[in-house]
Amino acid sequence: MQKIHHLTHQDAHSLARCGTLSLPHGEVLTPTFMPVGTNGTVKGMYHDDVSAIGYNLILGNTYHLYLRPGMAVMEKFGGLHKFSNWNHNILTDSGGFQVFSLAHFRKIKEEGVTFQSHIDGSKHHLTPEKVVDIQRIIGSDILMCLDVCTPPDLEYKKAREAWEITKRWAERSLKRRSELEDFKGNLFGIVQGNFYQDLRKESAETISSMDFPGIAIGGLSVGEEPQVFSDFLAYTTQFISLEKPRYVMGIGSPDYILDAVANGIDLFDCVLATRTARNGSVFTNEGMIQLKRAEHEFKDEPLVPGCTCTACTKYSKGYMRHLFKAGEMLGGMMATEHNLTFLYRMMEQVRQAINEDRFLDYKREFLSRYYGR
């Protein structure tokens, strides 16, 4: 197994840590937030603007890219980096979450999963091996195993069955990855186990012991209460190797991110920052605000003083509100840039706080200001 994550500092008072992730398209400082580019683009952003903020690792969605434009197109263009003109790193998920969200349109068997496309109803069959092959064609710098995602209220017997299939699929994925000698992508295993401690422990220890260069924690932030998320995250991480990068899938609010960092998580992603921006909600130091509200109509100050995004350096809250009320797409574009800039600067501050052994103080002060308590 190739070691890809090198720790540079461990916070003296928490599990928070800084490191460098060495990937085919450059090094990434951790902990880091990753913007989501579902269809090969971060919605409302040029790739150059995403990288200008500072991001050098974004997500692509295997399920969506497999269905559209399809692997024939992807292979013709030489992978997603060339197709989308993104010269930095790409992480792709396995598509498992999207497939298993199609509750009435998919069937899970030992061999793999059969599902109907949400686009045209066509039938498709994915196996662990095929999912690895798809991500090879995409050219992923980090790729994920196919896993069985489960809802938070699943009974124990079915949760165990799902985890055991995930384990066998992980073994098959590793075997297929080992056969692709000309491919530089790093395959991460995924911890599952639903919300049962014994299954979480078994899954974390098993996946962590396998020959994966990195570990993802799945099945969290799927509708459970925040305290349940926090408890199971803390419980799960204690059984995962400290030597491997840890990735929690699908978290993007500042409180969840800071909770993850406090538990030694290195990577996280979510559509929250971009999706809420398109609807007029933006991050500020005092919490998220909705720009469409009347209270912002006459405000001539920036969204966040000192923020370097286009909206904050050139326009007022009042103008941003006007754009959303008028239905102008520029509003969503600038709000997206702002939210991604806000999270990037926050992660810079997080890494600095860890390096200065004051992460817990930073977390407490940030959340106190953000939630006004």
Query: E strands, the chain, where?
Result: 5-10, 17-23, 26-30, 32-34, 57-61, 89-93, 106-108, 113-116, 123-126, 142-144, 186-191, 214-217, 246-248, 267-269, 281-284, 287-290
Within 10 angstroms of residue 6's Cβ, the number of other Cβ atoms is: 13
Dihedrals phi, psi of 304, to nearest 5 degrees: -135, 115
**Distance, CA of 347 to CA of 106 (rounded, Å):** 38
Q: Which long-range contacts (CB under 8 A, 24 or more apart) does 160-164 make?
A: 160/196, 160/199, 162/192, 162/194, 163/192, 163/193, 163/194, 163/199, 163/202, 163/203
**Distance, CA of 302 to CA of 312 (rounded, Å):** 5
Nearest in space to 1 (alpha carbons), one of 167, 200, 207: 207
Q: Which residue has the tokens 């052994």?
A: 357
Residue 269 is a catalytic residue: yes
Catalytic residue of the set 11, 141, 266, 269: 269
**Distance, CA of 120 to CA of 105 (rounded, Å):** 12
Catalytic residue of the set 93, 141, 259, 266: 93
Burial class of residue 102 in the structure, from the number of CB atoms within 10 Å of its CB (0-12 exposed, 13-18 middle, 19+ buried): middle
Residue 48 is a catalytic residue: no
Nearest in space to 98 (alpha carbons), one of 142, 60, 152: 60
Q: What angle do CA 305, 307, 310 make, to 5 degrees?
A: 115
**Distance, CA of 201 to CA of 184 (rounded, Å):** 30
| End-to-end CA separation in angstroms for the chain | 46
Q: Where in the sequence numbering do the catalytic residues fall?
A: 93, 269
